Amino acid sequence: MIKTDGKPSGNAAAGRTGAAIEVRGLRKSFGDHVVLAGIDLSVPAGTVFALLGPNGAGKTTMVRILATLSAADAGEVAIAGHDIVRDPLAVRSVIGVTGQFSAIDAYLSAEENLLLMADLWHLPRRAGRQRSAELLELFDLAGVGPRPAFTFSGGMQRRLDLAMTLIGAPRVIFLDEPTTGLDPRGRRTMWELIRRLVRTEAVTIFLTTQYLEEADQLAGLVAVLDHGAVVAQGTAAELKRRIPGGHALLTFTSASALEAAARQFGDRASRNDEALTLQVASDDSARSVQDLLAGIDVDAVRHVALHTPDLDDVFLTLTGQTGKEQS
């Protein structure tokens, strides 16, 4: 239950822009190690925002600060208009957080975990039971019965964790690598759940991920975090366009066919005589593929593979280094 006394507690900038999350000059170090070196970002209400970065980039640090778990060294953050330092309780009353590691009560059953959250959100008894039953159904946990959560698989724990985050109907949701550790099917299910959430509940979602594809699937806006700074921001499509990592890999049946095709493409291609392959810059649209194949003898092509840019390409391009562990 939330009482509003009309006094604005948040910072004025966020109030004006109507952003659900407003971050200005956010800095954080652990000792000498600068993890966030002045981050600015703004997430409009009702959208999905993805923070993309490799291991150690500072994604979790960022989420922990926005979720009032950790204190920044400098900068201003407003969540739904509430300043995280001046009014953390107001922030907590509108957010839901699913951390990188499951935060469930292992001794309780799925339903008991959800009812615990409902009680802590101060939902009326009946509303809590009803919402819990809906979420168990939605997250495919309705059949698990009274067994304690420590018997669940990683994927089930992840789903329960997200269901616990949603039970109080938070308006701003933080998801730290929500699909890491899930199998491909689990990942698709999670994506579907997140999309449905945005469609039906009009929430704002701030998620972190190491996969451009995931950001692409879910987010309107993507920011790339590297060594504590946002090195690129935009839609996933915009980011991909800036990245020349997209290519088609053609494998030929003979050296002469490779030779002929290589002459055809000139500068656009790089060849590998041993593997009889030719790598040609291209995106993954049908039009590009058609253009690509139009000029060559398709009977001499054994195999075509399309490579769309992934996080490695993003990092290689934007930072001039591979997306390996940063420390």
Partner 1 sequence: MTVKVYPLRDTSTMLRRNIKQELRDKVAIGAIIGIPVLFLLLFVYVFGGALKDSVRSASTPAYIDYVLPGLIIMTAAAGLIGISTQASVDMTAGIIDRFRTMAIFRPSILIARIAASALQTLVAMVAVFVIAFALGFRSDAGLMRWLGAAGLLAFVTVSLACLGLAFGLAAKTVASASNGPFPLVVLPLVGSGIVPTSTMPAGLRYFAEYQPFSPMINTLRGLLLGTPIGWSWLIALAWCGGLGLLGLIWSVSVFNRRDRQRGTPGPGFSAAAAG
Contacts to Mg ion by CB under 5 A: 59-60, 100
Binding site for partner 1 (CB under 8 A): 1-5, 7, 9, 30, 67-71, 82, 87, 89-90, 92-93, 95-97, 99, 101-108, 112, 116, 119-122, 148, 150, 164, 168
Rounded to 5 degrees, what are φ and ψ at 43?
A: -115, 115
In 171-327, beta strands by DSSP E: 172-176, 204-209, 221-226, 229-234, 247-252, 269-272, 277-281, 301-307
Angle, to 10 degrees, between the axis of helix 110-120 and the axis of helix 154-166? 20
Nearest distance in Å: CB 166, partner 1: 13
Nearest distance in Å: CB 70, ligand ATP: 8
Radius of gyration of the chain (CA): 24
Pick 37 or 249: Cβ nearer ligand ATP = 37
Pick 195 or 227: Cβ nearer ligand ATP = 227
What stretch of H or E contains 257?
Answer: helix 255-265
Q: Choose the one of ligand ATP, partner 1, Mg ion, none that binds residue 7, judging by a C-beta under 5 to 8 angstroms depending on kind.
A: partner 1
Nearest distance in Å: CB 9, partner 1: 5
Nearest distance in Å: CB 167, ligand ATP: 25
Binding site for ligand ATP (CB under 6 A): 30, 35, 53, 55-61, 100, 210, 327
Q: Choose the one of Mg ion, ligand ATP, partner 1, none that binds residue 102, judging by a C-beta under 5 to 8 angstroms depending on kind.
A: partner 1
Pick 218 or 296: Cβ nearer ligand ATP = 218
- The C-alpha atoms of residue 88 and residue 66 are separated, in whole angstroms, by 10
CB 230 within 8 A of CB 41: yes
Which tokens in the block code for residue 10? 């948040």
Q: Choose the one of ligand ATP, Mg ion, partner 1, none that binds residue 209, judging by a C-beta under 5 to 8 angstroms depending on kind.
A: none
Nearest distance in Å: CB 175, partner 1: 13
Pick 32 or 274: Cβ nearer partner 1 = 32
Pick 9 or 180: Cβ nearer partner 1 = 9
In 19-86, beta strands by DSSP E: 19-30, 33-44, 48-52, 74-79, 82-83
In 144-237, beta strands by DSSP E: 172-176, 204-209, 221-226, 229-234
Q: Choose the one of ligand ATP, partner 1, Mg ion, none that binds residue 58, judging by a C-beta under 5 to 8 angstroms depending on kind.
A: ligand ATP
Q: Choose the one of ligand ATP, Mg ion, partner 1, none that binds residue 55, judging by a C-beta under 5 to 8 angstroms depending on kind.
A: ligand ATP
Closest CA to 65 of 46, 83, 43: 83
What stretch of H or E contains 89?
Answer: helix 88-92
Nearest distance in Å: CB 225, ligand ATP: 7
Q: Which residue is nearest to Mg ion (CB)?
A: 60
Pick 162 or 182: Cβ nearer partner 1 = 162
Q: Which amino acid is at 224?
A: V
Nearest distance in Å: CB 278, Mg ion: 39
Pick 164 or 212: Cβ nearer partner 1 = 164
| Buried/exposed 234-269: b ≥16 CB within 10 Å, e otherwise | eebeebbeebebbbbbbebeeeebbeebbeebeeeb
Closest CA to 157 of 143, 175, 139: 139
Q: Which amino acid is at 163?
A: A
Nearest distance in Å: CB 30, ligand ATP: 3
Pick 157 or 282: Cβ nearer ligand ATP = 157
